[in-house]
């Protein structure tokens, strides 16, 4: 017959067994990690490229002395409005001197070059005008077809973009033609002065008026008082501040993502709210620029047209610093996850979902991605909870204590 253990000894054995079992359970139980939680949502998403830019006047006219002489005191001040044909300065012409053979040959070459540039500018202007007329007709046709549903809103917007781009190109071409004509006139003036000097019929003692080639405002005036000037010396610059564009120097690797017609926002310009703009052109050539850190960068110049009403940005001037956000991609309603919830998993992406208090590693297929969020193609569903910025302490099955609820 088997002897029974005393009750006290039996109790101690049971207590030891329970203690051992508890220790084993605690050892097998995964440690709890504190983590922040985000949510898979649905809504608009933008992918933007941010760069610093500056304003510039679309067409700037550099007014130079047509002859050597003494310029009389210029009363106009920077900011003063001028009209086309208005007298800007007066010059008491000095005696003309004969050109040596080398200088005469160079002057004749300058005239031929200016003639060729003017002819090319006229051809570009004619081609740009033809393109503008075609784009205008397409835009008008699109406006008539859209209300009936014959074309989509996207096709209507594309027609408008083509029209606006063609209009801008024509304006640039016309300005180039005017500038080429001015260069030819200046080149011819030198030879004409030399010819009059040889004949004894030069402008010595005459007062010549310098007039504005177009309406606008005085931008710069390096000459403030009466003083001698040489032929071709800059007297002032004239332009229209109401015709501004934005110049941005972007990394060449980013420039390939941009195209004419792409929307953009102008922020930190000094006024209220953001200004709307669009890419007018991406220049085809690049250049090397040294960054503030001394690193050589290959950049490309991008020009934007302002779309917001001129009254909204009337205080902007020439050469003002602004921040530009190029809207590379945009969607109004997409499933998205916080970007800092994603991590690399092989060649793809993954996130940790929070399921019953534990981390569950989930492969995720993403689409467009911004600095704050990424489009979810598959792997996650709306309103699911995901772990933000998971580190190496979190793995599949790790127990999670959320930092926001303390649970």
Structure confidence at residue 109 (pLDDT)? 77
Same domain, 303 and 249: yes
Q: Could you tell me if 166 and 259 lie in one domain?
A: no
In a domain, 15, yes or no: no
CATH of residue 219: 2.40.50.100
> DSSP string covering 214-225, please?
SSEEEEE----S
pLDDT tens-digit series, residues 19-70: 666 555 544 455 788 899 999 999 999 999 999 999 999 888 888 887 778 8
151 & 279 share domain: no
Same domain? For 102 and 192 the reply is yes
Same domain, 85 and 223: yes
* Residues 267 and 358 both lie in one domain: no
- 351 and 298 housed in the same domain: no
Closest CA to 323 of 270, 263, 283: 270
Residue 30 phi/psi, 5-degree rounding, is -70, 145
CA atoms of 22 and 39, how far apart (whole Å)? 36
91 and 215 assigned to the same domain? yes
Residues 60-113: pLDDT tens digits?
A: 888 888 777 888 888 899 999 999 889 999 888 876 555 556 666 777 777 788
H helical segments located in 235-373:
252-255
Separation between Cα atoms, residue 89 and residue 47, nearest integer Å: 51
> Do residues 248 and 394 share a domain?
no
Range of the domain at 257: 48-55+242-330
Q: Which residue has the tokens 């403030």?
A: 224
Domain end among 330, 351, 381: 330
Identify which of 368, 359, 355, 356 has the alpha carbon closest to the alpha carbon of residue 388.
359
Cα 326 versus chain centre, distance = 6
Q: Which domain CATH number covers 345? A: 2.40.420.20
Among 266, 298, 330, identify where a domain stops: 330
**Helix 101-145 and helix 153-199: axis angle, to 10°?**
160
Which H helix or E strand runs over 375?
strand 373-378
The answer to whether residue 214 sits within a structural domain is: yes
Find out whether 390 and 373 touch, Cβ atoms under 8 Å: no
108 with 196, same domain: the answer is: yes
> Tens-of-pLDDT digits for all 407 residues of the chain?
455 556 666 666 666 666 666 555 544 455 788 899 999 999 999 999 999 999 999 888 888 887 778 888 888 999 999 998 899 998 888 765 555 566 667 777 777 887 888 888 888 888 888 888 888 888 888 888 888 888 888 888 888 878 877 877 787 777 777 777 777 776 776 666 655 554 444 455 578 888 888 888 999 998 878 888 887 788 999 988 888 999 999 999 999 999 888 999 999 998 889 999 999 999 888 889 888 888 889 999 999 999 999 899 999 999 999 999 999 999 989 999 999 999 999 999 999 999 999 999 999 999 999 989 999 999 999 999 999 999 988 999 999 888 764 33
The three-class DSSP label of residue 35 is strand
Residues with Cβ < 8 Å from 111, sequence gap 6 or more? 184, 187, 188, 191
Same domain as 295, residue 253? yes
- What pLDDT shows up at residue 26? 47
For residues 88 and 212, membership in a common domain is answered with yes
């Amino acid at each position: 017959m088997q002897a029974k253990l005393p009750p006290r000894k039996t109790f101690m054995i049971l207590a030891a067994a329970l203690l051992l079992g508890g220790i084993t359970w605690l050892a097998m139980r995964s440690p709890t990690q504190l983590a922040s939680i985000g949510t898979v949502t649905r809504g608009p998403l933008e992918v933007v490229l941010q760069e610093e830019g500056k304003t510039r006047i679309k067409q700037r006219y550099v007014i130079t002395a047509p002859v050597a002489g003494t310029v009389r005191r210029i009363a106009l001040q920077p900011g003063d409005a001028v009209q086309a044909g208005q007298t800007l300065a007066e010059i008491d012409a000095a005696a003309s001197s004969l050109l040596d053979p080398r200088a005469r040959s160079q002057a004749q070459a300058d005239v031929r070059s200016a003639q060729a540039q003017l002819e090319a500018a006229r051809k570009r202007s004619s081609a740009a005008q033809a393109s503008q007329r075609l784009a205008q007709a397409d835009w008008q046709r699109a406006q008539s077809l859209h209300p009936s549903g014959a074309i989509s809103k996207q096709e209507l917007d594309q027609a408008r973009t083509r029209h606006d781009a063609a209009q801008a190109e024509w304006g640039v071409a016309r300005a180039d033609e005017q500038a080429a004509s001015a260069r030819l006139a200046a080149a011819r003036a030198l030879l004409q002065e030399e010819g009059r000097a040889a004949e004894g019929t030069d402008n010595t003692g005459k007062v010549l008026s310098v007039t504005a080639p177009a309406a606008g405002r005085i931008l710069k005036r390096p000459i403030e008082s009466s003083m001698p000037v040489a032929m071709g010396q800059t007297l002032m610059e004239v332009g229209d501040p109401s015709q501004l564009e934005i110049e941005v120097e972007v990394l060449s690797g980013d420039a390939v993502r941009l195209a004419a017609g792409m929307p953009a926002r102008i922020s930190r310009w000094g006024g209220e709210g953001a200004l709307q703009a669009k890419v007018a052109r991406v220049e085809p050539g690049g250049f090397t620029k040294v960054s503030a850190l001394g690193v050589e960068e290959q950049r490309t110049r991008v020009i934007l047209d302002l779309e917001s009403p001129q009254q909204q940005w009337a205080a902007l001037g020439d050469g003002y610093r602004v921040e530009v956000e190029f809207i590379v991609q945009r969607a109004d309603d997409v499933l998205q996850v916080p970007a800092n919830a994603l991590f690399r998993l092989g060649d793809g992406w993954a996130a940790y979902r929070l399921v019953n208090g534990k981390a569950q590693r989930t492969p995720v297929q993403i689409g467009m991605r911004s600095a704050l969020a990424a489009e979810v193609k598959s792997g996650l569903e709306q309103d699911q909870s995901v772990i933000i910025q998971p580190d190496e302490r979190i793995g599949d099955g790790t127990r999670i204590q959320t930092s926001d609820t303390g649970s």
